[in-house]
Structure 1
C-alpha cells in the first residue's frame, strides 16, 4: 500500500464517519428537515455528496456507477434521471429528496465507500498523474480529482452535521 493510498483511504474513511454521525438514528422526516425553504436537507446533502463521489470514482475507475449498477436509483425512487447528481439543483429539487430512511441513505453511502476503497487499493491508484479532464488549465489529473472529491464531500458532510445540530436545537 502506498502512502497516497493510505492518505486517501483515511480521508474517505473520515467522510464516511461524518456522514454516519450526521444520519444515524434520524427518521425520514428529520433527514428531510430544512432550516428554511431554500436550505439543503441532511438527506439531500448526503445523497448529493455520495452521488458525486460515485460518479467521479466510477469515471476514474472507468467502470459503472454503484447508483445504477447495484439498483440504488430504483430503491431511492427519486424524481430524477439515473444520471442526476444534485449538481445545480434548485430549492424545489432539493425538497424532492424526502421520504428516505437512514438505512437506505447509509447503505448507498457505504456501497460507494466500498467501491472507493476498492479503487484506491487497485492498480488505478498507480496512475495518479493521468489526465482525466482537459477542460481546465492546467488539466485535471486523477490525483487532483480525488482531492476535489474529498474536499467537496467533507464540506457537504459538515453541512449535514450542522443541519443536524440545528434540527436537534429546534426539537429541544
Structure 2
C-alpha cells in the first residue's frame, strides 16, 4: 500500500477512535466502577486500559515518552496505573477505580494526539518493528492494531453505558 494511502487509513482510524470517545456519554463514579455481570473489568478499567495500550505501545514504537506521567496523579491509581492491564488478575483489574470520567477521556485524547503526531512525522510504514508468531510486524500493522484495540475497548464502554442500569 502506498504511504499516502496508509496515512489516510491510519488518520481515518484515529478520527473514528476520537469520534467514539467523544460520543461516549459521561459516566458517573458508580457507573465507571460498576462490574456488570460480576466481570472484573469495569468501564473505568476499559477506559484506563484504552489509554495505556495506546500510550505504552506508541512510546515503545516511536522511542518517545509516554503521556501517562501527565495523567498519573489525576487518575490516582498508584502503581497499578503504571501497568498495561493485559494479564491483570481479577483482583488487580478490580483495583482500577477512577471516579472522574473527564480525566480518563483526557488521558485517551492525549494518547491519541501522540499517535497523530507520530503519523505527522511521516514514519516508514513498512519498517519492521516486532515479530508475532515468528512473522514480521510492520509499523503500519502495529499502529492499526493499537487503534482497533482502542475502538474495541471503547465499544465495550459504550455497550455498558447503554445498559439501563450498571450500578448494582
Range of TM-score over shorter length? 0.7 to 0.9
Residue 170 of structure 1, CA deviation: 5.2
Name structure 1 gaps, 5 residues minimum.
none
**2:29 maps to 1:28:** yes
Quick one: distance in 2 between partners of 1:97 and 1:135?
29
Aligned length in residues: 165
- Contact 1:34–1:163 under 8 Å retained in 2: no
Aligned to 1:17: 19
User: 1:163 pairs with 152, 157, 160, which one?
Assistant: 160
Aligned-residue offset at 1:88: 0.9
Q: 1:49 and 1:170 mapped to 2: Cα distance?
A: 20
Shift of 1:46: 1.1
CA distance 1:45–1:170, change in 2 (3 Å): closer
1:13-162 matches, within 5 Å, as 13-22=15-24, 24-68=25-69, 71-81=70-80, 83-124=82-123, 127-134=124-131, 136-162=133-159
TM-score (norm 1): 0.85
The alpha-carbon distance between structure 1 residues 49 and 141, as it changes in their structure 2 partners (threshold 3 A), is same
TM-score normalized with structure 2 length: 0.87
Any idea what the Cα deviations from partners look like across 1:106-150, whole Å, max 9, x if unmatched? 1111111111111111132xx111111135321211111112112
